[in-house]
Structure 1
Amino acid sequence: MRAVLDGELRGVYEDRRTTVASFLRQWLAVKKEELAPNTYAGYEACVERDLIPAFGHYRLPDLRPKHIERWIAAQRKAKRGKVTVYRIVSTLRNALNAAVRAWGLRYNPAKHSVPPKPRATERTSWTPDEAATFLRHNAEQYADQLTDLFEVMLGTGMRRGEVLALHWSDVHLMDRKLYVRWTLAAIDNGKIHLREPKTEASRAWISLSPRVMAALHRQAAIQMNAHPDGRLEGLVFGRPGGSPLRPQWVLDQLRKRTTELGLPRIGLHDLRHTAASIMIAENIPIAVVSKTLRHSTIAVTINLYGHLLKDSADEAVTALASALDRADAEMASQPGSSVGHHFGKAA
């Protein structure tokens, strides 16, 4: 009764029957309706694998910052990855924020416990020579579906899930365009889902180069010949029964073929970074690169690829200096110019 009356007085009712474990599972049930399957799977893994074993036995109102700090210190001592620890504690903070917003907690004990977000490691990307070598090797040694898939990824900068979810109904060969309508998400239990891309910017038209057009025409011819009615339908890149290719299998094939050539080891998303790096190296304006990659803002592109713009920065300040030098020379050459006299007097 005292707890109820205190809750009425303060506007916050902390139910001492609720454990951290039961609260986190209730929170997950709500989030499942809001999140993409693969994002939810990541939250669920954090909760079941780490948060409940570490804090689940506490009553929700009894969880304190010292408990969280102690767990973080133990993880550091065990050499746990900084990114992993950051994600786990961030998940706990997000969940407890929901309890505070629902007036179930007076304060969030994880509010100030989340360690600084680790700096993202610079992703590996291939040079144009390495990318061309890889594509030629695929064409000469394999000439299969993945040969064309890798050509499309490197030739458009599309994300892994977008390529694997691409349907023929969204490919317009006559217009040399395709539309990104779906993305594929694979989660830990092996289930594969199609969903809309996360951002509005991702749902957009992509122009197709002659190389990418050739790859899509090859796939179209193969699938039309295999279809009883000679039609194109379903996924552009899929298994014989029409189901999507599994991302892990595609990654395994990429690494196998990369190893055959002795090229730097990269992941599927690094093909997108390679496409971006090549565009920037070819002096494509960063605004155009951002639009091609379908980033939500140009700031995202600069944050990801700003380190590749050093040469462009050199060109910019050199051009600026040249413009000032030309203007200065023109002024100095004019009859009766007082520029030199002015600076001499000031000196």
Structure 2
Amino acid sequence: MDLPSTTGKRETRRRSGFSDQSAALTALQNFLLAERTGIAVDEALTVADYLREWLLSKQEILKATTYAGYERHVRHDLIPAFGPLPLADLRDRHVTTWSRRQLAAGRGRPTVHRCCSILSSAMNAAVSADLLARNPARNAAMKRPAAPERLCWTPQQASAFLHHNAETYNDVYADIFEVILGTGMRRGEVLGLHWPDIHFQRRVLFVRWTLASVNNARLHLQAPKTRASRNWVSLSPRVTAALRRQAARRRSTHPDQPRLQGMVFTRPDGKPINPERLLHTLRQRSAEIGLPKIGLHDLRHTAATIMISSQVPLAVVSKTLRHSTLATTVNIYGHLLPQAAREAVTALADALDHADLPRKIN
């Protein structure tokens, strides 16, 4: 093969050792494609080999919980489905067919969507590395499933739950629920809270850590969800009282420590509280007084709903929840805004009518 030359001299590329003419022609086509597009096709590179290499590159970038999810789906779903294929031979139809079969077999749509999204992300990286000309999973990936309906309690139900915990148990879990419902913090942020990050006199705390469960087997302390999450949270008198109760418990069990150290909410042996144990406690205690069954993150939704229903400005709610943008708050809680919008335009009309009244009198 003669290649273009900038020197005017003939530049020839030769390859040999092919088993037959068909193999030689295939190699020539791949070589011409690489010269034309910059895409170097490697027939020996399978989807399985590439996905394993891609996973290794993501290990230092992703959070432990996110990486564990990626690895689980790559090992258990993507490699068994597409692994033997050469990377260059993966096509949209392969991904589409696999998705349909998974759904027909009863697999959840969110899970199938997550697998396709991971595959698409990996193929995007292959395109960036000039291993593929296009992403074969981009158009075949499923649309994001609609978010499930958000469940939350009314203010009366939330109050009844906190009262039940305080009167019946008055323990570390009761105060955890008080903090979550009183601040809207995420469960991992509360469980990862450290004493040096609480400032009682200023009535604020700083979110610096979050406790996560990796594959429901290993607890991992990591940075908060987003940069916006790593922020301060104002404390109400109720939440401050809950934190002071926990401080009193810690001092009674560790009288030799002059200053409170370590994590705020722990088991009696000082080890972190597993989020699954906290969820079990929530379900058990709410069932005891006949409350609707909800999850731990729904306590955060309950706090947000109460704030919005109490006519707290949406910008303040967004800041309190530490969302990255106001649009995030609107997207999540937009269903609560029509009544607030009606009240806003009614107030506007009332103000204009009031301003117009003196002119009518004159």
Which interval holds the TM-score relative to the shorter structure? Answer: over 0.9
Does structure 1 residue 103 correspond to structure 2 residue 124? no
What is the identity, as a one-letter code, of the residue corresponding to 2:249? I
What is the identity, as a one-letter code, of the residue corresponding to 1:234? G
- Structure 1, 248-257 or 183-192: larger mean CA deviation: 183-192
1:4 Cα offset (Å): 4.3
Aligned to 1:342: none
Does structure 1 residue 117 correspond to structure 2 residue 154? no
Q: Choose the corresponding residue for 1:259, options 279, 287, 290.
A: 287
Aligned to 2:311: 283
Q: Choose the corresponding residue for 2:156, options 101, 125, 129.
A: 129
Aligned to 2:70: 43
Aligned to 2:117: 90
* Cα separation, 2, equivalents of 1:324 and 1:83: 49
Does structure 1 residue 235 correspond to structure 2 residue 235? no
* Cα separation, 2, equivalents of 1:295 and 1:60: 39
What is the identity, as a one-letter code, of the residue corresponding to 2:118? T
1:194-224 alpha-carbon deviations (Å, 9 max, x no partner) = 1111322111111111111111111111111
Contact 1:234 1:242 in 2 (8 A): no
Aligned to 1:55: 82
1:326 Cα offset (Å): 4.1
What is the identity, as a one-letter code, of the residue corresponding to 1:307? H
* Cα separation, 1, equivalents of 2:339 and 2:33: 64
Q: Choose the corresponding residue for 2:48, options 17, 21, 25.
A: 21
Does structure 1 residue 151 correspond to structure 2 residue 151? no
* Cα separation, 2, equivalents of 1:327 and 1:251: 54
Aligned to 1:301: 329
* Cα separation, 2, equivalents of 1:209 and 1:6: 65
Gaps of 5+ in 1: 335-347
TM-score normalised to structure 2 length = 0.88
Aligned CA distance change for structure 1 residues 5 and 265 (closer, same or farther; 3 Å): same
1:327 Cα offset (Å): 5.0
- Structure 1, 65-74 or 245-254: larger mean CA deviation: 65-74
* Cα separation, 1, equivalents of 2:101 and 2:186: 37
Aligned to 2:265, the other structure's residue is in SS state coil
Q: CA RMSD in A?
A: 1.6
* Cα separation, 1, equivalents of 2:206 and 2:240: 14
Aligned to 1:269, the other structure's residue is in SS state helix
Does structure 1 residue 30 correspond to structure 2 residue 20? no
Give % identity.
Answer: 56
Aligned to 1:292: 320
* Cα separation, 1, equivalents of 2:156 and 2:205: 27
Gaps of 5+ in 2: 1-14, 16-27
1:282-332 alpha-carbon deviations (Å, 9 max, x no partner) = 111111111111111111111111111222111112123334444555555
1:76 Cα offset (Å): 2.5
* Cα separation, 2, equivalents of 1:142 and 1:198: 31
What is the identity, as a one-letter code, of the residue corresponding to 1:237? F
* Cα separation, 2, equivalents of 1:34 and 1:190: 21
Does structure 1 residue 196 correspond to structure 2 residue 196? no
1:168-208 alpha-carbon deviations (Å, 9 max, x no partner) = 11111122111111111211162211111132211111111
1:9 Cα offset (Å): 3.8
What is the identity, as a one-letter code, of the residue corresponding to 2:237? P
Aligned to 1:253, the other structure's residue is in SS state helix
What is the identity, as a one-letter code, of the residue corresponding to 2:71? E
What is the identity, as a one-letter code, of the residue corresponding to 2:93? K
What is the identity, as a one-letter code, of the residue corresponding to 2:167? E
1:250-289 alpha-carbon deviations (Å, 9 max, x no partner) = 1111111111111111111111111111111111111111
Aligned to 2:211: 184
Aligned to 2:201, the other structure's residue is in SS state helix
1:107 Cα offset (Å): 1.2
